[in-house]
Amino acid sequence: MLSKHLDIRVYQTLFTEDRFAALFKTFDRLHDVVCENKLAQVTNLAPEEVIGWLEDIAYTIAETVRELQVRQVQEKDA
């Protein structure tokens, strides 16, 4: 039980407004770098690898949004 309680505390530090803002800023900066054609200057990853990561991240985000929306509807109907 203690381990589960500690896990929740760790998650509580991860999912804050500041953390979400930092994630947004990171991806916004990446977008700027790509628009300026400077990706190779800021990462050792090939463009295909960056695309793969972004696709995986985008999929996970979309699934999380979908799940949150489903739960909101379920809570309203309850």
More confident residue, 30 or 78: 30
State whether 35 and 63 are in the same domain: no
pLDDT for the residue numbered 2: 57
Q: pLDDT value at position 59?
A: 99
Q: Looking at the structure, do residues 40 and 53 belong to the same domain, yes or no?
A: no
Q: Compute the distance between CA of residue 46 and CA of residue 24 in angstroms, rounded to an integer.
A: 22
Could you list the residue range(s) of the whole structural domain that residue 70 is in?
Answer: 45-78
7 and 33 together in one domain: yes
Helix (H) or strand (E) holding 9: helix 2-14
Residues 38 and 53 in one domain: no
pLDDT digits (tens, 9 = 90+) for 4-52: 676 888 899 999 999 999 999 999 999 999 999 999 999 999 999 999 9
The pTM assigned to this predicted structure is 0.83
Tally of domains within the chain:
2
Which residues in 37-76 are b (16+ Cβ under 10 Å) and which e? eeeeeeeeeeeeeeeeeeeeeeeeeeeeeeeeeeeeeeee
Decide if 50 contacts 39 (C-beta within 8 A).
yes
